[in-house]
Amino acid sequence: MKDDRKSKPPLLANWLASKFINEALLEEFFGDLKEIYEERIATRGKFYAKCMYWIDTLHLMIGFTSFNLFKTQNNPTIMSKHYLIISIRNLSRNKAYSIINILGLAVGMGVCLTIFQYVYFELSHDRFHNNFENTFRITLDENKNGMDNLRATTTFALGPSAKETIPEIKEYVRIHRQDDATVINPDKNEPFKELARDMLFVDKTFLQVFNFPLKLGSKESVFDNKFNIVITEKTARKYFGTDNPIGKTLKVGGEFSPGDFIVSGVLEELPINSHLQFEFLLPLEHLLEFANFGMFKNSDGWSRNYFMTYVIIDESANLDLVREKLDQLIVKYKGKRNSNKNVVEKVGLQPLSDIYLNSDVYSRSGYVINKGDVQNIQFFSIIAVFILFIAWVNYINLSTARSMYRAKEVGVRKSIGAFRRQLISQFMIESVLLNLIAALLSIGIAFSTLPVLSQIIGKELEMNVLEIPLFWAGFSVVIIFGALLSGSYPAFVLSAFKPVSMLGANKTVRAGKISLRKGLITFQFLISLLLISGTYLVYKQITYMKNQELGLDMEKILVLDGFDKLMDSTGIATIQAFKTEVTRHSSISSVATSAKIPGKGYHQEVSIRKVGAPESENKNSSVFWQYIGIDFPETYDFEFVAGSSFTQDQSNRNDGLGLIINEEAVRVYGLVSPEKAIQEKLIISGKPRAIRIVGVVKDFHWHSLREAYTPYLFGFNPRRVNHISLKINLSNIQESIAYIKSTYKAFFPDNAFEYFFLEDEFNKQYQADVQFGNLFLAFTALAIFIACIGLFALVSYSATLRIKEIGIRKVLGASIGNLMILLSKEYFTLLLIAAILAAPAIIYWGGSWLENYAFRINMGIDLLMIPTLTLLFISLLTVSHRTYSTAKTNPVDSLRKE
């Protein structure tokens, strides 16, 4: 045994020879070499024998492999060209198959490309600014009595003090909104109501910190004068038509800082991927000098957190150190007053590029800012991957389903010497070709679907992602990866066929495992069910919110929106005269004034406590203060559970003599019951005296049903008239509006006549949910379409395999209906399995999504049953044509080949 082990030839030489020599010749090759090797060991020794074995092996390999090297090994370039030609011929010969395959892949890629453009757009917000990486917004985390309140606003003194004392801060800019204002071009004398979100007071440095390009004017000098104003191109056309607006005057109303402003600059249309969206820029110096009789000018600058402050920080700076220095500034200038109020403030630095997607801090700041949802981006990205994967799965199913038609092709090619790797190369090139054609078509599909997406989200998107070189690198990787993923399985399955199984007259070829293809179809059913369930859930929740009783009557309320300042005694009298006159019309039953209306925010947030309670019990939760007129509760049908509305006696007196609260305020502030709350007095921050509760109303929805019931306090104030609400009969709307307009213009000739129906305006709060639902529906439809192609492929494959069985059953008397059930039932079994698998996911993800809503639907069996029945119906339509045509086949035709 020991000698035998020593006489073994070198194993490495044998392994090398086996890689180059035909398997049929190996026995002869190694037999001759071993005989010579053993003779040399006996005569010349082991070392000599091994050396000569290597030499003989390399020498003989040339002879043994010469035939293969020169006869069977082909030039790769020539073979690739040959494979490409064959692939093109196969595609053109099987046009229907090719179109279905390419269409499925193209739609999947096109949807992914469209979603990628949407994601790229969402992520690109505020990145067009030159210094966006070093620009931050200062936030404040205000902790009062253990309760956190995160805000995006600071005092107006923080910015300049920070630049002066912190060397890492290179520049700052402060922003404050104007209130809703009437703007007039004196030359045309046509008033327009402009919203607060469109009018910003800014520092001179605004156009240095942010790169909003000026079309007219110089960014260094546009704010040199306190009475300058910068407008956008759209606003310039609105007020001045085609005239050059530079040097012309705009009369700006509003409560904060009205005045006559001279146009000093015109901005190009703002990029839509900016979290700041506005139409007017006014000098902050004007606000600080003239606002509300010098409310800022006469303060030390550290008392009101009303300003958004942005800073540019040196790129080498330590952000934690900068935050510490800002905290020290807060302590230095506000520490004493904060301590007296039991408040602790901590500064945060929010990157400019994070504001659009990752910020909720301004939800109650009064600034309406363009905002996105990072969860939606993540969600739709996952959908894109699933849709693309479904398209690739369809290619696998279609390729293997068509395999029997190519079985003889594979058998003939193998019988004349084709190697398996050559067949694999052939099928892989076909896959690459199909994916490449689909990729080119997907770009066209993306271009055609982008306008639809733009309409759904309300933003004009462009396919600018194609201009990024990195995109093409990634797109190429997707094409190659998709070709390998979708083409590998069919290629290896088809190339593994043995010629004898494919060339026999009575052989049936089955490509790959049926269980795998059924598993893929089940996966497609599962994804389709989840998408349909999601669409149904969103639709059901939105419908529920829109149809829910709000506790307020909004259906017949028409709102006039043309007021922008506090009323004096003359204004109050004019309002009263207008109300008297307009109610003379038979269609108008009541008129009410208010500072705010449902769905449009609140006047201010306050902290309160009961008279006699210690100041430490001051609550700082969401307590909203609203100013209303005497007719407001009647016009909006407040339901009083205790006490009553304001009396006429109170209407002749000023603010502070009575409060109407809701039931939630009773609960939050420990007022025991609505009945016991009456005649209680509340101390409200900022008010000179305690105010008596005169009425308690049933809880209502002032905001969308996303939010829970919130404590509300209503105070009477006839001077706060930002809105006039009219309850009208809807039988003759146009005639009623015409009367209201003529009466309004007679009493308020300098005001813009702006109106809307409150119910429509209130429902705009659900616009983001509706957009989300529409996107969900669109992607669901596309995913189902692609999945149906895969289902059709499996039906076709199965029906072809069972064509002889069907013929025999028909001969034995089976009806067409029985045969259709026979062919279809296995797919409905797959659907049932998918429904069982989908149930836990629907319960989990549906429940998680509904947690975003304080008032939501109950999750019932319909969330699974309706999507399942919907998909069942779609599946029936998909398979019925193929199963019917197969079941109707003449059995003579199917059995003749036997």
As a whole number, mean pLDDT of residues 24-39 equals 74
pLDDT tier for residue 364 given thresholds of 50, 70 and 90: very low
As a whole number, mean pLDDT of residues 678-707 equals 83
pLDDT tier for residue 896 given thresholds of 50, 70 and 90: low
Token representation of residue 410:
């594979």
Domain ranges of the chain: 2-72, 76-125+406-508, 136-327+346-354, 513-548+761-898, 562-753
Q: Tell me, what's the pLDDT at 717?
A: 84
pLDDT tier for residue 565 given thresholds of 50, 70 and 90: confident
Least confident of 64-78, 123-137, 290-304: 64-78
Which stretches of 128-275 are DSSP H helices?
Answer: 158-165, 206-209, 233-240
Handedness of CA 66, 70, 73, 76 (dihedral sign): positive
**How many other CB atoms sit within 10 Å of the CB of residue 46?**
12
As a whole number, mean pLDDT of residues 864-893 equals 78
Q: Flag whether pLDDT at 329 surpasses 60.
A: yes
Alpha-carbon distance of 182 to 184, in angstroms, equals: 7
As a whole number, mean pLDDT of residues 489-511 equals 58
Residue 667's contacts (CB-CB under 8 Å, 6 or more residues apart) are: none
pLDDT tens across 93-128, in order?
Answer: 767 777 878 888 888 899 889 988 988 999 999 999
Q: Tell me, what's the pLDDT at 506?
A: 47
Q: Tell me, what's the pLDDT at 511?
A: 47
CA dihedral 226, 232, 237, 242 (to 10 degrees): 80
Alpha-carbon distance of 27 to 315, in angstroms, equals: 72
pLDDT tier for residue 688 given thresholds of 50, 70 and 90: low
Least confident of 215-229, 352-366, 502-516, 656-670: 502-516
Among the ranges 60-74, 237-251, 590-604, 780-794, which has the highest mean pLDDT value?
A: 237-251
Strands in 166-314 per DSSP E: 169-177, 181-185, 190-194, 199-202, 214-216, 228-232, 249-252, 259-267, 280-283, 308-313
As a whole number, mean pLDDT of residues 577-590 equals 92
Alpha-carbon distance of 1 to 701, in angstroms, equals: 95
Q: Tell me, what's the pLDDT at 559?
A: 93
pLDDT tens across 134-146, in order?
Answer: 999 999 988 876 6
Q: Tell me, what's the pLDDT at 64?
A: 52
Token representation of residue 116:
């990628």
Burial code (b: 16+ CB inside 10 Å, e: under 16) for 576-595 equals: eebbeebbebebbebbbbbb
Q: Flag whether pLDDT at 180 surpasses 50.
A: yes
Percentage, residues of the chain above pLDDT 70: 81
What is the 3 state secondary structure string of 140-165? EEEEECCEEEEECCECCCHHHHHHHH
Cβ(662)–Cβ(587) below 8 Å: no
pLDDT tier for residue 744 given thresholds of 50, 70 and 90: very high
Token representation of residue 466:
């194609």
Q: Does the predicted TM-score (pTM) go above 0.75?
A: yes
Q: Flag whether pLDDT at 785 surpasses 90.
A: no
Q: Tell me, what's the pLDDT at 362?
A: 47
What average pLDDT does the chain have? 81
pLDDT tens across 214-273, in order?
Answer: 999 998 899 999 999 999 999 999 999 999 999 999 999 877 788 899 999 999 999 989
For β-strands 723-728 and 640-643, DSSP reports them as unpaired
* Phi, psi (rounded to 5 degrees) for 160: -65, -35
pLDDT tier for residue 299 given thresholds of 50, 70 and 90: confident
Query: Which long-range contacts does 146-152 make (Cβ < 8 Å, 24+ apart)?
Result: 147/620, 147/621, 149/620, 150/348, 150/360, 150/361, 151/305, 151/361, 151/362, 151/364, 151/365, 152/308, 152/350, 152/359, 152/361, 152/362, 152/365, 152/367
Alpha-carbon distance of 892 to 296, in angstroms, equals: 97
Q: Tell me, what's the pLDDT at 21?
A: 66
Alpha-carbon distance of 442 to 478, in angstroms, equals: 12
Q: Which residues pair with 138 in a beta bridge?
A: 349
As a whole number, mean pLDDT of residues 402-412 equals 65
pLDDT tens across 834-878, in order?
Answer: 999 999 999 988 888 888 888 999 888 988 899 999 888 888 887
Q: Tell me, what's the pLDDT at 620?
A: 46
Q: Flag whether pLDDT at 617 surpasses 60.
A: no
Q: Tell me, what's the pLDDT at 363?
A: 43
Strand, coil or helix: what is 166? coil
Cα of first residue to Cα of last residue in the chain, in angstroms, is: 60
pLDDT tier for residue 801 given thresholds of 50, 70 and 90: low
Q: Flag whether pLDDT at 71 surpasses 50.
A: no
Between 561 and 185, whose confidence is greater?
185
Cα 443 to Cα 111, 387, 393, 455, 472: the distances in Å are 10, 16, 21, 19, 12
With residue 588 as reference, give the H or E element that holds it: strand 588-594
Token representation of residue 552:
């307020």
Between 72 and 78, whose confidence is greater?
78
Strand, coil or helix: what is 174? strand
Cβ(725)–Cβ(594) below 8 Å: yes
Q: Tell me, what's the pLDDT at 657?
A: 66
For β-strands 691-697 and 659-662, DSSP reports them as parallel
Strand, coil or helix: what is 255? coil
Token representation of residue 474:
């990634």
With residue 669 as reference, give the H or E element that holds it: none
Cβ(249)–Cβ(260) below 8 Å: yes
